[in-house]
Structure 1
């Protein structure tokens, strides 16, 4: 019993040391990423899938890092205003309508886009609030 208690205390201490070794940027990224996963589950997963795979020829996948990087400054506009018309993702054409998720705040948009652009095989780093606010001002 004492050994299990001592082992638990040692493990907690090690976890605390490891967590404190993260830089402020890593902590901020983790905060955005974990918050974004919850938002993705609530607003995006139903259509784009648990693994960002999309839905056959109806809904584009979120696994194409080239599309996400090329359109990075437009992604916030797509979320807030929706998207209509033809779209080419991963070499496939999609035509339809993505409804707007207008009820998301700019920080929620930043979090969900950080999650999407760093999940499903994508690795794009943090998309912070300041970037999203600038992108939203430029929506057409």
Structure 2
């Protein structure tokens, strides 16, 4: 009887915690958790579990300055890939990142995950923003 009471109180606390989240926090959590799974499936093999990259071959995703300065291009980088030289955190990287076969929603989720992980804090990258940015790809 006592354990049922404790479990009931625990469940009530969980329900209250979820119910107290704002719509923005719920949206962020949905994008972030989905983005984590997409990152694991499509990005982690090269960029690493912690976004550390691979020495001089594959750039890290830990440079929030680079991500912030290129935020309107990130969706295009994922959709079309990147070819050529880029400099991240003062280190040059040259090579090719292949295009990812992801929907705009999947791109939004993975960008929300990346731009809010590995020391980055940028908030939600929603699908409307990604679609607008994809419309500007060169």
What is the TM-score when the length of structure 2 is the normalising length? 0.99
Aligned to 2:108: 110
Residue segments in structure 2 that go unaligned for 5+ positions in a row: none
Residue 80 of structure 1: how far off its partner (Å): 0.4
| 1:43 aligned residue | 42
Counterpart CA distance in 2 for 1:5 and 1:60 is 51
Q: Which residue of 2 aligns with 1:87?
A: 86
Shift of 1:89: 0.4
Q: CA deviation at 1:127?
A: 0.4
Query: Cα RMSD over matched residues?
Result: 0.4
Normalising to structure 1: TM-score of the pair? 0.98
Deviation, 1:3, is 1.4
1:63-82 residue pairs with structure 2 within 5 A?
Answer: 63-82=62-81
Q: Distance in 2 between matches of 1:48 and 1:4?
A: 45
Deviation at 1:99, TM superposition (A): 0.4
Q: Provide the aligned length of Structure 1 versus Structure 2.
A: 138
For 1:102-133, what per-residue CA distance to the aligned partner results, in whole angstroms no more than 9, with x for missing partners?
A: x2000000000000000000000000011000
Aligned residue in 2 for 1:52? 51
1:56-109 Cα distance to aligned partner (Å, 9 max, x none): 0000000000000000000000000000000000110000000000x2000000
Task: Give unmatched runs, 5+ long, in structure 1.
Answer: none
- SS state at 2:87 partner: strand
| Moved >4 Å (runs of 4+) | none
1:6-45: CA deviation from partner (whole Å, max 9, x where unpaired): 1111000011001100000100000000000000000000
Taking the aligned partners of 1:122 and 1:25, their CA distance within structure 2 comes to 18
